[in-house]
Chains A and B, each alone.
Chain A
Amino acid sequence: MVDFARVQKELQECNRDFEVSGIKVIPKSDANLAHLLGTIPGPLGTPYEGGSFKIDITLPDGYPFEPPKMHFATKVWHPNISSQSGAICLDILKDQWSPALTLKTALLSVQALLSAPEPDDPQDAVVAQQYLRDYPTFMGTARYWTEAFAMTSSLGVEEKVQKLVEMGFPEALVKSTLVSVNGDENMALEKLCSG
């Protein structure tokens, strides 16, 4: 059984110093604290700078004695993060987990991973290859992905709607879909395409 008292405390603690860390964790729904959405800012001085990356968190029954399951909901171009699924290759989320770690410290570690890629132990082989062989192209792609997928907040709601309508979706559907995904342009697009 998940220790929800601890999760509550973690959320409070994490959101208290949001101003400093920029890391935010919110429950996906009020009813279930086992599904959370974390947000980390892209570290400064990296191609991820300025982006806001969403991470989907699922707490297993054994939490905090088992590591939380995390994967990127925002598309990222990074050797240790799958460009397809968003899976993260990080030891503390696997065999190096410790119950003294919290969601916030785990997210901080993920943020640190963004600024310090480990191409020798890759999750996404294509990205890792590019990182090792053609670093400038890697930087360019990472920057482009950040701007394309992680900077949605820079656009106003009207612009997002217009952008999606231009793609050929009916305006009413675009609006309702945007509302349902909290204004996330990429998620709305995905939803519109799939359904």
Chain B
Amino acid sequence: MSKRVLCKFFAHGACLKGDHCEFSHDWKAPPNNICTFYQKGVCAYGSRCRYDHVKVARLQSPAPSSSAYSHQHHSVPADHPSESAADTASVVTAVTSELSASGGPLYLPTTPAWDEKLQHPDMTENDDVREPRCVNPADRPICSFAAAGNCPRGEECPHIHGDLCPTCGKHCLHPFRPQEREEHVKTCEKMQRKLEALKHSQEIECSVCLERVLSKSDLAERKFGILSECDHPFCISCIRNWRSSSPASGMDVNSALRACPICRKLSYFVIPSVIWYCSKVEKQDIVDSYKAKLRSIDCKHFDFGNGTCPFGTSCFYKHAYCDGRLEEVVLRHLGAEDGNTVIAKSVRLSDFLSNIQIR
């Protein structure tokens, strides 16, 4: 019922309460343009005030005025409406009983339609007395002071104080909106986990440069390089430097450079990440989101079908043609002599032609 007045915040396009706002978010609703200061006596803006300076007690809240109006109605001829009501009721009974001979559960309006109107004022009056209490509790906002941490009004606060969120330690869980509660708890826990991971990540040192990865002087280097096969922390620049360094004499690329500098386990790729993980699941999340991101980027080697990508099916980037069609790869398996199957590389005629030397 309070939704009849246009929400000021909504009018400015910035109401945070959304569907739960106690004011109307319907442009057809009239805005409340009455100056509250003028109502109390003095408005400092005087004639320059952008709100209406009207002293109208009945305009201020439509509910009591309507109740006063209907009270008059009620008190006027007490017997006349009831008489007519009895008449109509009998007519209605006759008609309905004829219509539904089966006589199932039949609702008989004991009072005529207009009489309901007469009853209404009492209800509205009640509503006015305990206005905030009677509104559906889910529609009422929670106290923003309490949600922020501390409500100065304490017990006497007219607003609902939210329940304590165990994660963020604030009274911001709405007691009557289960969906919102769940959502808050979920996001809050997620944030908390992220914060903890970040805090944990701050402490981690790169085993190559011996510096804390997230405190490196170069901003671009404040990233971890996660190895796919083991859990040793390095900063992205160190591990990439090592993997791309030219192998010294006798150094084998696979056994030395692509191996973890600490455990020498072979990893085929490095995943950059700003956060270090604590569990296998978190690591998988990081890897998956990284791969998903790369898969949305067009491969520059494939070049929409114009080029060939040396990484073939193992490429992390998107292999799509100009029309958006994805490359379809048919792998040809060849049986090798030792019984293993080998994936045959695609061979083009041009590969041979370009090597031919015509004498």
Contacts and interface: CB of A to CB of B under 8 A. Distances in A.
Contact of B208 (A13, A62, A96, A99): A99
Contact of A95 (B208, B232, B251): B251
B249 A99 contact: no
Interface string A57-101: 000001011110000000000000000000000000011111111
B19 interface: no
B256 A6 contact: no
B125 interface: no
Nearest to A7: B210
A67 B249 CA distance: 12
Interface in B227-274: 232, 238, 241-242, 245, 248-252, 256, 259, 261-262, 264
Nearest to A99: B208
A5 interface: yes
B209 A95 contact: no
A179 to B, nearest CB: 35
Interface in B302-351: none
B211 A100 contact: no
A10 B210 contact: yes
A95 B256 contact: yes
A99 B238 contact: yes
Contact of A65 (B210, B242, B249, B264): B242
Contacts of B39: none
Contacts of A64: 208-209
Size bin of chain B's contact surface: 20 to 34
Main secondary structure of the interface of A (DSSP, over half): loop
B210 to A, nearest CB: 5
B207 interface: yes
Interface in B188-222: 207-211
B250 A6 contact: no
A193 B280 CA distance: 64
Contacts of A3: 209
A101 B251 CA distance: 16
B252 A95 contact: yes
B211 A5 contact: yes
Nearest to B246: A62
B209 A6 contact: yes
B247 to A, nearest CB: 8
B256 A96 contact: yes
B210 A98 contact: no
A9 interface: yes
A13 B205 CA distance: 14
Nearest to B245: A65
Given A99-B261, A100-B262, A6 B210 contact: yes
Contact of A99 (B211, B242, B250, B251): B242
Nearest to B262: A100
A164 B259 CA distance: 52
Residue in A5, A13, A64, A100 with the greatest tally of chain B CB atoms within 10 Å: A100
Contacts of A67: 248
Interface in A1-45: 3, 5-6, 9-10, 13
B252 to A, nearest CB: 7
Contact of A100 (B208, B241, B249, B251): B208
Interface string A96-136: 11111100000000000000000000000000000000000
A165 to B, nearest CB: 47
A95 B261 contact: no
Contacts of B209: 3, 5-6, 64
A13 B252 CA distance: 31
Interface of B: 207-211, 232, 238, 241-242, 245, 248-252, 256, 259, 261-262, 264
The 5 closest A-B pairs by CB, nearest first: A100-B261, A95-B250, A98-B261, A99-B208, A100-B262
Interface of A: 3, 5-6, 9-10, 13, 62, 64-67, 94-101
Given A64-B209, A95-B249, 9 more contacts: A10-B210, A66-B245, A94-B249, A94-B250, A95-B248, A95-B252, A99-B207, A100-B208, A100-B232
